Amino acid sequence: MKRSIYISLLVVLFFCFYALSQAAAQDDQQPPDANTMFSLSECVAIALNTSPQILYSQADISEKESSLVSSQKDLYPSLFFHYGYQYAPDAAPSAYSNLEMEDYYSYTFSIEQPIYRGRALVTGVELGELELESSKSAMVQTKSEIVLSVHEAYYNLLKARKFEEVAEQSLEERKSHLKDAKAYYKAGLIPKNDMLQSEVQMAGAEIERIRAMNLSAMALARLNTLLRRPVENEIQVEDILKYEPSEISFDLSVQQAKEHRPELKQSEIAIEQADKNITLSRAPYLPAVSVSANYLKQGDNFFAQEYPFGSSEVKTAQATLEWRFWAWGQSKNEIAVAKHNVKKAQEVEVDLLDNIILQVREAYLDIKEFEYNITVTEKAIEQAEEDFRINQSRYQAQLSTSTDVLDAQTRLTRARINYYNALYNYKISLMRLSWATGTLVL
């Protein structure tokens, strides 16, 4: 009796545990809630895990790996099997030719080992290794560009939402001022045009708020696209308001770019590939050496067991030398083409390096500009807030006009926008410099 109770309890506990595990699994499969806070590193990880560009690069690497293994196997011996049957009803018996047999069966086993093909086989393997290395470098480049895109989209979303907050705040300030202006107008303290000016400014603030909302919605859509989410899905991101001055050197940045940019690595590989193609162009016009061995079994029945005109088993081994020593100068032309391709690859690398140095220079100057702008706009906000407070107090005391207050509001709004623009553009420029130097952490 007790034993059956214990068994029943164990069964109940098992089903409870199973139900809880299934519920937990379903919770794990649920999409993130709109209120879930995403950090910058989490967004980068999601983008890298879901990007079709990464999947394409991974497939390309797998393709190059398979191609390399295939080219390596060209160095191995090849095995062949051939089975044949020949029927000649009008043949007359002869000791000199199997063609005189009415039924002739044969099968052959062969093995062939290439010895020398003008370095074509070895060069093919080396080109395969370079292709694989180039593909891996392209993967690094793809990841770097995705990480940069996520950083730009993330900071642009934060910036757009700050602009939206500033627009909301500006609209509320203008509404408050319009309320005061209407009260003063009803009391006969200000002329009607002062009140109308306040209404016009409030309408303009509403337009700016709608524009800021649209910019924020588009910034959200861009980030969602990188995260492979529906563009309209809401997402909460951690704000990054901390400003840390950078200590960067242009000369050091250029040196890092020369060492780490994956595009330069791919360019160097392209030059090496073009150089090895010169060897491939020569190969068909150089001697080709191979050795082979054959085993022939022949006869007048299906299993080739009986051969009336000689031995039914023939074993041979041979070495072959083949040399196409004259082709009307075609080899010279093809080698010239390959050499010109090397020159083209070298010039592409020179142009690429110039563009990379320009990218480094642009990012470096942007960082310095936005660093300066941050310190200036921080002070500008304090001054604009004080200016707005003074003009507002003077207006309430009827010592200034609506124009003074509205102009002060405009200056304060512009100062706030300039600060957030400088702060987030500074962070974007730091990432662009890391991308330009090839030191972006993936």
Tens-place pLDDT, residues 331-372: 788 888 989 999 999 999 999 999 999 999 999 999 999 999
φ, ψ (nearest 5 deg) of residue 19? -65, -40
pLDDT average, residue stretch 161-175: 91
Closest CA to 39 of 238, 239, 241, 228: 238
This prediction's pTM = 0.80
Is the pLDDT at 404 greater than 90? The verdict is no
pLDDT for res 34? 54
Residue 435: its H or E element: helix 402-437
Give residue 300's pLDDT band: very low, low, confident or very high (50, 70, 90). confident
Average pLDDT value over all residues in the chain: 85
Sheet with 103-117, side-by-side order of all strands: 78-87, 103-117, 288-299, 313-322
Residues sharing a CB contact under 8 Å with residue 361, sequence separation 6 or more, in sequence order: 250
pLDDT for res 115? 85
Q: How far apart are CA 174 and CA 410, in angstroms?
A: 10
Contact at 8 Å (CB) between 129 and 68? yes
Closest CA to 339 of 273, 278, 272: 278
Is the pLDDT at 113 greater than 50? The verdict is yes
Give residue 75's pLDDT band: very low, low, confident or very high (50, 70, 90). confident
Residue 171, SS3 per DSSP: helix
Q: Give the torsion sign (CA, 121, 123, 129, 132).
A: negative
Find where tokens 């649209």 sit: 214
pLDDT for res 437? 95
**In angstroms, how far is CA 385 from the centroid of its own chain?**
44
Question: Does the domain at residues 39-76+118-287+329-437 carry the CATH identifier 1.10.940.10?
Answer: no
pLDDT average, residue stretch 90-102: 58
Q: How far apart are CA 306 and CA 380, in angstroms?
A: 107
pLDDT for res 11? 44
Q: Determine the number of helices (DSSP H) and then strands (DSSP E) in the chain.
A: 9, 6
Is the pLDDT at 431 greater than 70? The verdict is yes
Q: How far apart are CA 348 and CA 274, in angstroms?
A: 12
Is the pLDDT at 84 greater than 50? The verdict is yes
Q: Give the torsion sign (CA, 335, 336, 338, 342).
A: positive
Q: Which letter does DSSP use for residue 232 in this model?
A: T
Closest CA to 134 of 18, 326, 264: 264
Please report, for residues 132, 141, 216, 343, 352, the alpha-carbon distance to residue 266 in angstroms, rounded to integers and kept in the order given: 11, 10, 38, 16, 11
Using one digit for the tens of pLDDT, what is the confidence trace for 283-297?
Answer: 878 888 889 999 998
Q: How far apart are CA 385 and CA 201, in angstroms?
A: 18
Give residue 406's pLDDT band: very low, low, confident or very high (50, 70, 90). confident
Using one digit for the tens of pLDDT, what is the confidence trace for 52-62?
Answer: 999 999 999 99
Using one digit for the tens of pLDDT, what is the confidence trace for 17-71?
Answer: 544 555 444 444 344 455 678 899 999 999 999 999 999 999 999 999 999 999 8
Contact at 8 Å (CB) between 212 and 160? yes
Lowest mean pLDDT among 66-80, 219-233, 314-328, 352-366: 314-328
Angle made by CA atoms 253, 258, 260, in degrees to the nearest 5: 85
Residues sharing a CB contact under 8 Å with residue 138, sequence separation 6 or more, in sequence order: 57, 60, 262, 266
Catalogue the E-assigned strands of 270-381: 288-299, 313-322
Give residue 430's pLDDT band: very low, low, confident or very high (50, 70, 90). very high
